[in-house]
Structures are given as structure tokens and as C-alpha cells.
Amino acid sequence: MNGEQVTFSVFTKPWKMLSLGELGALVRGVGFDAVELPVRPGYQVQPEAMETGLKEAVRAFADEGVVVKSVAAPTDGVRPGFTGELIGACAENAIPVIRVFPFIRPGEPYLEGEARVQNELESLLPLLEQSRVTVGVQNHCGPCFTGAMHLRHLIERFDPKHVGAILDAGHTGLSGEEPEHAIDMVWSHLCMVNFKNAFRRLRTGPEAEQAEWQVYWTSGRHGLSDWRRYAAELKRRQWRGVVCLTAEYSDPNSVDRLIAEDLRFARSLFV
């Protein structure tokens, strides 16, 4: 296996003020093969105009030799009605994956929230059966499905061509999961891997009555997640899918520099 068998994508969230043409040129200039586009208010593709917006985006990126491999749905859960429309728009534009990260509602018991999300995903199956689109569920810190086993338990009942797992190395790092175990737990449904990294740092001083911690998003080499081990395990399993660098950094002024450095680092791991 080598890096040419992995498609390196980037989540374009940090560059919401660029036009589609400018964004395509930036992505290609950094060296990415593909992108994940947010279909969210305030971004290049607006939810209320997703069909025409995605068509324009696919064309603009194709002019730069870049493929739209996935879209990121709004951050308020699965929402079957909206997600159903998005499935149709992605199918029309040959975009294979819609990324979602469902959450547990305030006051909702975890297992009840899990059952609710499973029902929401179940309602999408007829549309997914008609299309070649996969809803990819991502683990995420906070009141979400934070770890690989959470993902597995949530989606293992579904056909992986309909509902897949997007394993986020940054969030598994924050959860303290072993990379090899995390990959193994979702391997049957793995449709994409996110590479990002973070650590927790103390928000309060050592004399505080109660310690408060914050997540700091950093470069691929400097967080709690070991990208080297993730890449080694994916190579061992002959992964030939998408590795998406999410370009999430706590220092907004360093995004362009850090994403270029992280792409070089990530590519080196798959040689």
C-alpha cells in the first residue's frame, strides 16, 4: 500500500469567505485530492439552495482537478427531512458521503438518545437504498457518540453501504482510545477517517477550587492522537478510502500553514 491508494481530502470550513473558484485553487495549491464541503448557513453551499450549490461546487472543483468526496450536514443532528433532501442532492452530483454527528439531547438518557438516532437513521433507508450515498456517522466529544464502540453500537444493525462510520482520530485521542482498537471496532462500517489532533489544557490556575479544562486543537504531530499508529493500522488493513484532514486548529491565524504541514505529514505516513 502507498499514499496513492489513499485519497486525501480537506474539510473546507475555515475558508468560508472564499468563492468556490478561490477555494478550489487554494485546495489544489496545498496539494489535496478532494474536499468535504459544509452544507450549512454562511458557507459556499447554502442549505436552501443545496442542489444548485452542489452542482456549482462540483464543477468549480473539477476545474482544479479536485473531487467533492463528502459533505458535512448542519450540526443539529440527523434531521430526517433535511437529510433526505441532502441525500437526493448528493446523489444528483455523485457525492458519496454525508457526514453527521448526532448528539444526545439535554436531559435525554443516553440509551434513549441512541434509540432515537437509530430510528432517525432507519427512516432514511428507503432513500439511501435508491441512491449511492452513505450517511457517515462521526464520533465527537461532548454529548455525542464519543468513541468507536459508541459508533459501533449505534450503527452495527445497518448495511454499511447505507450507514457508515467516520472515525475521528482527534476525538478518539481525547477519549483515550487505542488507535488499533478503535479501527477494529468500526472496520466493518468504516467509510472515512478524519485526521485531526488535540489535547486538553487547564483553563484555571492550580489554586482553583475546581479545575476546568479546555480542548486545544493543534497540529497532527502534537496532540493526544498518534497519527502514525492510525496510518500503520490502516496500511496493515490495506485501507483504500478517504483520509480527511479537518483543518481544525485553535489558532485561526495559523490554519493555512498548519494544514499544509499536516498534509505533508499525513502523506508521509502512508508511503
pLDDT per residue as tens, the chain (271 positions):
454 689 999 999 999 999 999 999 999 999 999 999 999 999 999 999 999 999 999 999 999 999 999 999 998 878 888 899 999 999 999 999 999 999 999 999 999 999 999 999 999 999 999 999 999 999 999 999 999 999 999 999 999 999 999 999 999 999 999 999 999 999 999 999 999 999 999 999 888 999 999 999 999 999 999 999 999 999 999 999 999 999 999 999 999 999 999 999 999 999 9
- Are 61 and 35 contacting, i.e. CB atoms less than 8 angstroms apart? yes
How far, CA to CA in Å, does 55 sit from each of 58, 73, 244? 5, 16, 21
Instruction: Please report how the helices 20-30 and 255-269 are oriented relative to each other, as an axis angle in degrees rounded to 10.
Output: 50
Specify the DSSP element, H or E, that contains 203: none
Q: How far apart are CA 138 and CA 145, in angstroms?
A: 8
Range of the domain at 236: 3-269
CATH of the domain at 131: 3.20.20.150
- The number of folded domains in the chain is 1
